A and B are shown apart, each in its own frame.
Chain A
Amino acid sequence: MDVTIRLFGIRRELIDRPSVEVSLPEGATLRNLLETLGDRFGERVRHQLFSADGRHLGDTICLAVNDHIVAEEALDTPLKDMGADQPRVSLSVVFAIAGG
C-alpha cells in the first residue's frame, strides 16, 4: 500500500518537507506508518512521534485520515479500514502551551 503523508505545522521539528511517500504492507496500521517514519528519519523524529514509553502518540502530533481527525485509539486500526483503498494521511505538528 502506498501512502502519501502531507505534513503541516512545525515541520522543521519533524520532517522538513511538505509530504512523504511511504510503502507499507497490506493491513498496516497508523502505528506501523509512524514506526516506518521513525526508522527512516531517526531517533529525534521517533521521540516526537511517540510518548516516552513508545506506546502512545507524541503530544505534539496530530493525525487525520481522509480528512477526519484520528484519535489515539485508532493507532492500531488498519489503514485500509479507514474508508479508502489509498488513504490520505495528514500529519501535523503543533505546539500550543499556556501557563507561566
Chain B
Amino acid sequence: MIQMVKDEQTQDDAWIPSACAVCFNQCSIKVHRKNGVIVKIEGNPDSAIGMGRLCAKGMSGITMVYDPNRLTAPVKRTNPKKDFNEDPGWVEISWEEALDTIVDKMKKIKDDDPRKLVGTPTVLGNSSFGYWFINLFMSGFGSPNSFSSNGHQCGNAEHVLVGAMHGATTSMPDLEFCNYLLVFGAGIGGHSYYAFTSNAQKMADARARGMKLVVVDPVLNGVAEKADEWVPIRPGTDGAMVMAMLNVILNETGHFDAGYLKAHTNAPYLIGSDGYYVRDPDGGKPLMWDAADQTAKHYDDPSLGDPALEGVYTAHGKECRPAFVLLKQRAAAWTVEKAAEITSVPADTIRRIAIEFSQAASIGSTIVLEGRELPYRPVCVTYFKGSHAHNHAWLTCLGFEMLCEVVGACDVPGGILGTNPVCEGHPDTGMPNWAPWAGPDGLLAPGVWNGQTSPGLRTAAPYPPRTPVPPERVTLSDLLSTGMSGHIPVLAMQNLDGFKIPYTPEMLFVIGPNIIYSLGNPEVTANFMKKMFTVASKLWLDETTYFADIVLPDACYLERLDPLPNTITHHHPAGRGNFTHTIRQPILKPPGQARYFSEVMLELADRVGFRADFNNLMNHFYGLNPPYALEGDVSYTCEEIADRLYKCYFGPERGLEWFKENGVVTWKKKIEEVYWKPFRHVRAPIYFEWFKKTGEGIQAILDELGVTEIDTSDYDPLPDWKPCGALLAKDEEYDLQAVYHRVAHHQFSYTFENPWLDEISAGDPYTNYVAINSETAKRKGIKTGDQVWIKSKEAGASMGEAKVVEGIHPEVIAVANNGGHWSKYTPVATGKGTFFEALMPMDWAHTDPVVTAMDADAAVKIEKAPKEDAKHPTRWLPGIGGKFRKI
C-alpha cells in the first residue's frame, strides 16, 4: 500500500521538465513538485511535442503516483490454477528471491536454446528505454521472439505502408496548408492519434483557416462531431469506397497528377503478363517506355524524355503495360454504385467526395516557402485503426495511400507527410541523422524505421524486401516477411509442430501491457500465456497477472529515467516547426520496493552473463561510436547510458545533467527536410511488384509445411477490397457489427484505473456505455439504461449498459475504449464499461498475414440481460457460437 507522505528530506518548489506517458504520445510536460509532493502537471511550451498543450490524461497522471492500489513489492502466485476469475493467491517475496528464480530459469534456457524466451513490452513505454530496451535485451540474450503487445490496437497496416511510401513509421496531414482533409477511422485532432495534443491545436488552427474536414466513420466520434461532414459507413468497407473514388479520379474525371506519377513513383515501370517488372536483360533494372523516342529504357536512364503511363508495348520480346494501367484497370471494376451497396454510403456521395478531393488537390500549382518553389497539393487522407483493423487491411490501406499518390499530395506542402522521414541532425553534431534512400529498383527505402537511428538499424523495414524462409521464430516474422508482429505469436504457439519451429518457448516476459486486453481475444491469449512461466512487470495486478507466475513492481513514468522518450521520430509532430528531443526524468522515487524494469534488465544481463551483447546492440541501436560507445561487458547504469546517448547526439556539453536542467533541445527543421520529395531521387511504389513474389514464396513454404490456415491471396501488388470476417459472419440472428471507438480521456485499458479519468467517464455519455442507434434500439426494444448482453457469433459475450444515440450507423453497436475490468486488484476500473475484446475472434481466418492486422470487430446480437446477471463477477463470458464457458 502506498501512503501519500511528504518527503521530509525534500524542501523544494520546482517545475521539472519531463515527458508524459499516460498515452503513447509522450507529450512534453513540466511537473510542479512542492516539498516532495507532485501538485501539478502542465504542458511544456518549449517543446514541439505537445506545444505546451496537455490533455486530461496527462493532467491526471499525478494519481498514478499516489494510487494506493499500486503494486509495491514483488509477488509470486500460490494458486497453480490459472483462470480469469481464479485468484492467484499472491504472496510478497523479496527482490532477491524473485531475481534468483528468474536468473536461474534464464540461464538454463540460454544454455539450451535462448529462443525459448519470449518477451513483449508495452507501447505506453514506447521510449528508448521503456520499449526498445526489451527488444535489445531479448536480442542480446539471443532470442528473436520479442513482439509488440499492441495487438489489435496498433497501426500495423499503416506503418508498413507509410514506411514504403513516405520513409517513416507514421504519417500526418500537413495541417499548415491542407485545405481538404478526408479522415477514415482515425482520431486525429479529436480524441487520439499521433502527436495528439500538437495535432489538436494544429487541427483547430486549420479549421479556423477554412480547411474542409470530411470524416468517414461508423461512429460520430470526437473528430466527426467537429467536421463539415460525417459519412457513416458500414464497418470494414472503407476499402470499397476508396476503390470507387480511385475509379472516379482515374477513369471518369482523369484528374490525376501525371507529372508526379512519372517522376516520383513506379507508375511508368513496365509490367509483363506475369505481373512482374520487365527488366533489362543486361543488369536487370526495371524498364519504362520512353514515349519521346519510343524505346524501352532503365528507370534511371538520364536520357529518359517522357515515361509513358498508358499503352501496351513490347520490350525485349515481352508484351507489357505501365504499372499505372494496371492500377486504372483494377479501379475500373469499382463503380460508385457497387461501392454504395457494400458501404451503405450513397453513390452520389462517394462520387462527390472523390471529385471534391481531386479538385482541391490543385494539381499543377506551386507555392514558394522560404525561397523554394514547391509543388502545392493541399489535400490529404488520414486513416487508422477504425478503417484498417480488419482482415484484408493491406488491400484497403494501399487504396488509402493511392488516393494521395495519384494526385501527387505526398510529402509536399498541404499533402500527407511522413512523420519526419528526413533529419540532417542537430546543427552542432549532425546527429542523429537519417533520410530515405534509393533501394533496389530505385524505390524508396526508409532511412529510419520504428525508432532506430542512423547509421544503425532498419530491422523489419518494409523495403528492401526480405526473402521469406521456413519459420524458426515464434513471431513468424521470418516467414511472414512483410508484416510486423502483433498477435502472430499467439497463433503460432497453437501450432508449433505444424510450423516445424524447432523448440517450445518456456518463459515469457510481459513488460507492462495488459495483454489479456490488448492482443485480442482473451481466452486465446490466456491459453498462450499458460504455456509459459510468465514474469510480468506491472504497476497494478491487472487481468493479465491472473496468468503470471511472478509479478515485479514497476516504476511509473514520474519515477523513472527515459532518454529520448519519443525515440527519434515516433509521436513527434510532422510539418514545419522544430525538431525537439527531450527527457523523462524521475520526479519522485518509486514507492515501496518498485523498480524501473529497464534497471532490472541491466541487472539480469549482468547476472545471466550477456551484458557484452546487450551493450553491443545498444551501440548499434543508438548509433554510439567511440568515445560514447558502451564498452565490452561494463555494467553501465541507466544514467551512464543516457549521458553517453545525449552527448553523442547533441554534443559533450549536453549530457544527462544538461537535459535534467533544460529538458528540451530544439532546432528548426529545414524546408528540404519537411517537404523532401522534390529533393530526393527515390520513387514510391504504386505497384508493389515484390509482394507477388513474396506471397508465392510464403505459399511454397506453407505447402511444404502442410499448413493450410494462412491465406496468401492478399499478397497483391495493387489495392482492392474484400469483406472482413464480421461481414461474412453476419446473418439474420447476428445482425449487428460491434466496434470499439476511443474517447479523448482514455488510452487503452489502464487509464480506467485512474480515479480522475473515472470521474470524467462517469459524467460522459459514451465511455461506460454500449452505444446503439435509436432506430435499431426501438426495433429491438432496448432503452437507455438497459443492461444488455452482447453475444458474438464467433467469440464470447460481454455485458454493458445501453445508450441510445443518433450518431452511429444503424447496423453497429459501439463500445468506448477498453473497459469492463474485473481484476479485484484494480478497484477503480472494475465493473466500469464493457469488455470489447471478449467479442473478438482471434485466428488465422480473421488475420491479414501481409501486415499482421486482425479483425477488431465482430458479428453480434444484443439482448436485454436478466436482472440476476447484473451481479455477474466478470460481466463477460468466453466461448463461441453462443456456447459460453462459466468463469
Contacts and interface: CB of A to CB of B under 8 A. Distances in A.
Interface stretch (A21-29, A32-40, A49-57): A49-57
A89 to B, nearest CB: 12
B521 interface: no
Contacts of B834: none
A88 interface: no
B469 A97 contact: no
A69 B455 contact: yes
A100 B852 contact: yes
Interface string A6-47: 001111110000000000000000000000000000001001
A4 interface: no
B298 to A, nearest CB: 15
B505 interface: no
A99 B155 contact: yes
A62 B450 contact: no
Contact of A8 (B114, B440, B612): B612
B113 interface: yes
Interface residues of B, number: 69
Contacts, number: 160
Interface in B591-617: 612-613, 616-617
Interface string B159-200: 100000000010000000000000000000000000000000
Nearest to B152: A100
A10 B440 contact: no
B37 to A, nearest CB: 35
Nearest to A68: B625
Interface string B257-268: 000000000000
A98 B114 contact: no
Given A95-B477, A99-B486, A55 B154 contact: no
A92 B615 CA distance: 11
Given A9-B617, A69-B625, A100 B485 contact: yes
Interface string B100-126: 000000000000011100000001001
B142 A12 contact: yes
A80 B180 CA distance: 56
B232 interface: no
A30 B484 CA distance: 29
B629 A44 contact: no
Contacts of A10: 114, 139, 142-144
A96 interface: yes
Contacts of A59: 457-461, 464, 466
Contacts of B473: 95
B583 to A, nearest CB: 21
B580 interface: no
Contacts of A97: 135, 146-148, 450, 459-460, 475, 477, 484-485
Interface string A42-82: 00100100011101101110101001111110000000000
A51 B464 contact: yes
Contacts of A99: 148, 150, 154-156, 159, 169, 450, 484-486
A8 B169 CA distance: 27
Judged by DSSP, the binding face of B is: loop
Interface string B374-401: 0000000000000000000000000000
A28 B616 CA distance: 25
Sorting the interface of chain A by its residue count into under 10, 10 to 19, 20 to 34 or 35 or more gives 20 to 34
A93 interface: yes
Contact of B132 (A52, A72, A96, A100): A96
A94 interface: yes
B605 to A, nearest CB: 12
B452 A96 contact: yes
Interface in B449-473: 450-452, 454-461, 464-467, 469, 472-473
Interface in B399-426: none
Given A8-B617, A51-B440, A95-B460, A67 B626 contact: yes
A23 B487 CA distance: 44
B459 A47 contact: no
A94 B459 contact: yes
A51 B139 contact: no
Contacts of A55: 440
B153 A100 contact: yes
B796 interface: no
Contacts of A69: 455-456, 619-620, 623-625
A52 B126 CA distance: 30
Nearest to A6: B616
B629 A67 contact: yes
A95 B457 CA distance: 9
A59 B458 CA distance: 6
A62 B153 CA distance: 30
Which of B155, B156, B460, B624 lies at the interface centre, i.e. has the most chain A CB atoms within 10 A of its CB?
A: B460
Interface in B617-655: 617, 619-621, 623-626, 629
A62 B459 CA distance: 10
A52 B146 contact: no
Contact of A53 (B143, B440, B459, B626): B440
A9 B615 CA distance: 10
B61 interface: no
A96 B440 contact: no
A62 B150 contact: no
Which of B445, B459, B465 lies at the interface centre, i.e. has the most chain A CB atoms within 10 A of its CB?
A: B459
Interface of A: 8-13, 44, 47, 51-53, 55-56, 58-60, 62, 64, 67-72, 90, 92-100
The 4 tightest CB contacts between A and B, nearest first, are A100-B154, A71-B455, A96-B135, A99-B484
14 contacts: A8-B612, A9-B616, A71-B455, A92-B617, A92-B620, A95-B477, A96-B132, A96-B621, A98-B154, A98-B159, A99-B150, A99-B155, A99-B169, A99-B486
Interface of B: 113-115, 123, 126, 131-132, 135-136, 138-140, 142-144, 146-148, 150-156, 159, 169, 439-440, 445, 450-452, 454-461, 464-467, 469, 472-473, 475, 477, 484-487, 612-613, 616-617, 619-621, 623-626, 629, 690, 852-853
